[in-house]
Chains A and B, each alone.
Chain A
Amino acid sequence: MSFFQAIRLAWDTIRVQKLKSFFTVIGVTIGVTFLIAVVSIVAGMSRYMEDDLVGKLIAVNSFSLRTRPDFQVGDATQAQRAEWRRRPRVLRSDVDPVAEALPPTATWAVESESSLNVESPYASPRRTQCSTITEQWFTIKKMGVTLGRLINPQEYANGTPVVVVGQDVADHFFPNLNPIGRELKIQSIPYTVVGVADKQGSVFGQSLDKFVLAPERSPLNRWVNPHGVIDAMIVQGQDDNSMREAMEAARATMRSRRHLHPSQPDNFELETSENALDFWNKVKGYLVIAGIALPTVGLVVGAIVIMNIMLVAVAERTREIGIRKALGARRKDILNQFMVESATLSTLGAALGVALGIGFAKLLAAVSPLPAAVEIWSIFLGVGVGAGVGMIAGIYPASRAALLDPIAAMRQET
């Protein structure tokens, strides 16, 4: 009996026993749905984290010199946190010596930020993330403006009270108005809006367009940090190598400025996009484990259900098996018949699961901030695993059927 005939036979049986077949496939369907949905969501988040988020939050080929890590969310130990708190702050006076040590191709900028009270005549006051920056900041972040202009070199030099605001800030404080040239008060000091930045989008529902940027020398600097202290010095190399080179130069300079003995660890942070991704990779690890564990449970349950139903099918069709054997079916033929039947059922279930999983992922992406990207390999994996589960679950019932004695089998009443 050919493989094709075995599939046709399986299909005929499935068609006749619709309800039973439905319950057989449901376990596999659920497992595969989970698998596809979780893989799609993890892949979507991963792509998002790697391409969008990190690119936006931390510029490419750049690192930032900070007192303590900015992205180290998660499981830092108590001792580690205490050590971070004891670290001396990075000072404005550290910037020039570090800048001098950098390779000539590297660019750098200083950044300090704080959440401050912002108001305008057109809207209610709101606490907003306000930062002071130096000239190369927009270049490093590859940020432009949709309205107005960037802060010009004279304004940086003179510390003119001008600001570039994020899209959401512009929308809130100047509803249906052109914000350019209008006044925004930060901690009661007036600033002129000269530009509205490109829309940055959002991360997990958190808007990235809620910011106010002013020159470092503007009055705002007093509010964002104690005098002489900065949040970060951002350094960008032309490529990964020159970034590493710049990082080592910055490290050496900072260590010598802080008189660190070679045995002492750095008491400052050089944070790259990898650090940010470290956290994500950790989360992704958990998600992938969950993404494998949950479908596995589903598939194991599915396998047990299939095995049970196939055992019932073998019992119910004992007489049929006897007849087939009497008419010349070999063990292999009977084994194939039942294996193909359970594999066909579970492949069907897996295909259904793939469709549902994709639908589920898309739905989730549509109604929640979670992104989703369907991975082609996960579809093949889903169908393959589904078919495999069916095969494995089918082995025992099929071998029971194949070993039946035709005389006894035909004698059985149905």
Chain B
Amino acid sequence: MSSNTIEAPLSETAERRAVVGVVGQAPDPRWVIVTRGVKREYDMGGEVVRALRGVDLAIGRNEYVAIMGPSGSGKSTLMNIVGCLDTPNGGEYWLNGQLVSEMSDDALARVRNKEIGFVFQTFNLLPRATALHNVELPLVYAGVSSDERRRRAAEALEKVQLDKRMDHRPNELSGGQRQRVAIARALVNNPSILLADEPTGNLDSATSEEIMRVFETLASTGQTVVMVTHEPDIAAHARRVVVLRDGLMSTDETRDAFVARVGHSVAAL
């Protein structure tokens, strides 16, 4: 496996190289996520851990991308930076034309609210709130009026076929239903990207397939989806697979190329 092997169509690859290469300039609007030499180091009791060592990544609008890598590869760190939960120590990160890497905490909160819909492995729903209230939450922080919130939250739950379970609390829902509530919550504010962190990590394979179908539907209707996973068969649902290793991008290839390369291990799973 060579470093930075890009097996995407040549024109697109060249374009990607071009967009990540021009430091300090806002990328063309068709690129939702652009990282240029993103570095992240942690000080762990005197020992410096270099989680990301310069990642160049460009994700276009409507793409469905899986980020893979073994534990310690830096994929969680990249996910946190892409999700605006963390900021890089070096390099720049442009999200939807905004230079996020230079933003204050409150500005980041605003970006998370408007631009990003999170789906987590552990669902991260508020246990005491109903499904409807959980879905309303991002709208609360967006300053949407309560009638409008209710309407939009109900609509989002309808999209994931949970309109009949709006008044249930998370502990009254199955794992798959919980994750669908989380997806509804992620989508309710019409974000630029849907960011999923091991979305099937806590689900059985049948339910995982069900959630992947929801993602597939979303991607096919034009939603940009970025999914972090360590399971190749889940990554194989995306149209493009990026693999990280030791804080650097190892491969960036189409789904077909990924399956062809690691097909035997996917089949084995």
A interface list, Cβ under 8 A from B:
1-2, 5, 12, 16, 319-320, 322-333, 406-407, 410, 414
**B85 proximity list for chain A (CB < 8 A):** 326, 406-407
Given the interface contacts A326-B118, A328-B138, does A1 sit within 8 Å of B112 by beta carbon?
Answer: no
What 0/1 pattern do residues 97 to 132 of B give for CB contact below 8 A with A? 000000001100110111000101000111110000
Closest Cβ neighbor of A328 among chain B residues: B113
- Rounded to whole Å, the gap between the CB of B132 and the closest CB of chain A is 14
**A331 proximity list for chain B (CB < 8 A):** 105-106, 109
In the complex the two chains form, is B124's CB within 8 Å of A330's CB? no
CA distance A1 to B141 in the complex (A): 5
In the complex the two chains form, is A327's CB within 8 Å of B113's CB? yes
B46 within 8 A of A: no
- Rounded to whole Å, the gap between the CB of A17 and the closest CB of chain B is 10
- Residues 119 to 174 of chain B near chain A (Cβ within 8 Å): 120, 124-128, 137-138, 140-143, 146
**A332 proximity list for chain B (CB < 8 A):** 106
**A2 proximity list for chain B (CB < 8 A):** 143
A sample of 29 cross-chain residue pairs with beta-carbon separation below 8 angstroms, ordered by A number, consists of A1-B141, A1-B143, A2-B143, A16-B128, A319-B124, A323-B137, A324-B137, A325-B109, A326-B85, A326-B118, A326-B124, A327-B138, A327-B185, A328-B109, A328-B110, A328-B113, A328-B138, A328-B142, A329-B141, A330-B109, A330-B141, A331-B106, A332-B106, A333-B141, A406-B85, A407-B80, A407-B86, A410-B120, A414-B127
Closest Cβ neighbor of A410 among chain B residues: B124
- Rounded to whole Å, the gap between the CB of B107 and the closest CB of chain A is 9
CA distance A407 to B112 in the complex (A): 13
**A325 proximity list for chain B (CB < 8 A):** 109, 112
Closest Cβ neighbor of B128 among chain A residues: A16
Closest Cβ neighbor of B145 among chain A residues: A2
CA distance A116 to B13 in the complex (A): 120
- Rounded to whole Å, the gap between the CB of B217 and the closest CB of chain A is 23
B interface list, Cβ under 8 A from A:
80, 83, 85-86, 105-106, 109-110, 112-114, 118, 120, 124-128, 137-138, 140-143, 146, 185, 189
**A330 proximity list for chain B (CB < 8 A):** 105-106, 109-110, 141
In the complex the two chains form, is A328's CB within 8 Å of B141's CB? yes
Given the interface contacts A320-B126, A407-B85, A410-B120, does A326 sit within 8 Å of B141 by beta carbon?
Answer: no
- In this complex, the member of A5, A322, A329 whose beta carbon has the largest number of chain B beta carbons within 10 angstroms is A329
**B185 proximity list for chain A (CB < 8 A):** 327
Contacts A331-B105, A410-B120 known; 20 new A-B pairs at CB < 8 A: A1-B143, A2-B143, A16-B128, A319-B124, A323-B137, A325-B109, A326-B83, A326-B85, A326-B112, A326-B124, A327-B113, A327-B118, A327-B137, A328-B109, A328-B112, A328-B189, A333-B109, A333-B141, A407-B85, A414-B127
Closest Cβ neighbor of A411 among chain B residues: B122
Closest Cβ neighbor of B112 among chain A residues: A328
CA distance A219 to B93 in the complex (A): 111
CA distance A357 to B114 in the complex (A): 49
Closest Cβ neighbor of A4 among chain B residues: B146
Given the interface contacts A328-B112, A331-B105, does A323 sit within 8 Å of B124 by beta carbon?
Answer: yes
- Rounded to whole Å, the gap between the CB of A403 and the closest CB of chain B is 9
**B109 proximity list for chain A (CB < 8 A):** 325, 328-331, 333
**A324 proximity list for chain B (CB < 8 A):** 137, 141
- Rounded to whole Å, the gap between the CB of B237 and the closest CB of chain A is 24
In the complex the two chains form, is A323's CB within 8 Å of B126's CB? yes
CA distance A406 to B125 in the complex (A): 14
**B86 proximity list for chain A (CB < 8 A):** 407
- Rounded to whole Å, the gap between the CB of B20 and the closest CB of chain A is 25
Given the interface contacts A329-B109, A332-B106, does A5 sit within 8 Å of B126 by beta carbon?
Answer: no
- In this complex, the member of B137, B185, B189 whose beta carbon has the largest number of chain A beta carbons within 10 angstroms is B137
CA distance A410 to B122 in the complex (A): 9
**B142 proximity list for chain A (CB < 8 A):** 328
Please give me the 5 A-B residue pairs with the lowest Cβ-Cβ distance, nearest first.
A328-B113, A328-B141, A330-B109, A330-B106, A327-B138
- In this complex, the member of A1, A328, A330, A406 whose beta carbon has the largest number of chain B beta carbons within 10 angstroms is A328
**A323 proximity list for chain B (CB < 8 A):** 124-126, 137
CA distance A368 to B138 in the complex (A): 59
**B120 proximity list for chain A (CB < 8 A):** 410
